[in-house]
Amino acid sequence: MTEITAHHGLFKNTDLHVDDTAGPGRAVLLIHGWPLSGESWSAQVPALQGAGYRVITYDRRGFGRSDKPARGYSYDTLAEDLNALITELDLTDLTLVGFSMGGGEVARYCSIYGTDRLHSVVFASAVTPYMLHTDDNPDGPLSKAKAAKLTAGLTKDEDSFYDQFTTEFFTSFSPPMTDEQGTLMVSEQQRQEAIVLCKQADKKAALACLTAFGTTDFRDDLPKVNVPALILHGELDGTVPFEGSGQRTHAALPGSELNVIAGAPHGVNVSHAAEFNTALITFLAK
């Protein structure tokens, strides 16, 4: 375990909790989804270690075991945190794996800091290119009404919100993004473990990041991604539907690889861990 201090922005002494598992191979940095923590990668870390990679996870500011400042949750600041971590550990020939909200950090990092330190990137169930449905983004899968409902639900009652959110997170919906019946693809124990991680999040941070990943436009960031890229997504993701996110990200990155895991929900790295790990390790070997 390492603590990295992000020396920038409004809170210059924000400590980020980092788990760095040394290995003989290239470094793989895993960026978690909202509102979880680096511990959400528990099914990936041993598989990547076993394949010989140096595996690094960290908790985003405001979440998990990292410091929880009152402000500083724009994607520019979160990308600065990521850059501080990469610089402090002097990582090169690195693969960034961004899950859900973390995909936005990958895109914004490449846009601001370039790709000189990177070998490749992975957008897993990622919120790119732009979640919010607007007049100039008609394919955005997140309606303003749904965004407002999410914010209101989290504001009113965290326990109830996270109970429902984790259920949807691990449920395969057909068609996605509806309130119709779906199939929960993990055990109740796995869902409860996710709730524990959710409850480590600071409420102010969770609300700010909910707004950030729902309303940030990454369409101008993606063209700056000029390293090999894998788009990895669950077919029946009801939280970040493939058609409005993964499919569009793949189209925006000529030459990117696409792997859609059949029948999988948003939390595909848990529900379909073996398939997810195989796809990731196969890509890393290239």
Q: Which residues are catalytic?
A: 100, 237, 266
> Which residue type sits at 63?
F
Collect all residues with Cβ–Cβ distance below 8 Å to 91 and sequence separation of at least 6: 27, 29, 56, 117
| Sequence-separated (6 or more) residues with CB below 8 Å from residue 273 | 43, 44, 47
Token reading at 128:
């790119």
The amino acid at residue 85 is: L
CA-angle at 39, arms to 36 and 41, nearest 5°: 95
Residue 242, C-beta contacts closer than 8 angstroms, at least 6 positions apart? 176, 233, 234, 235, 260
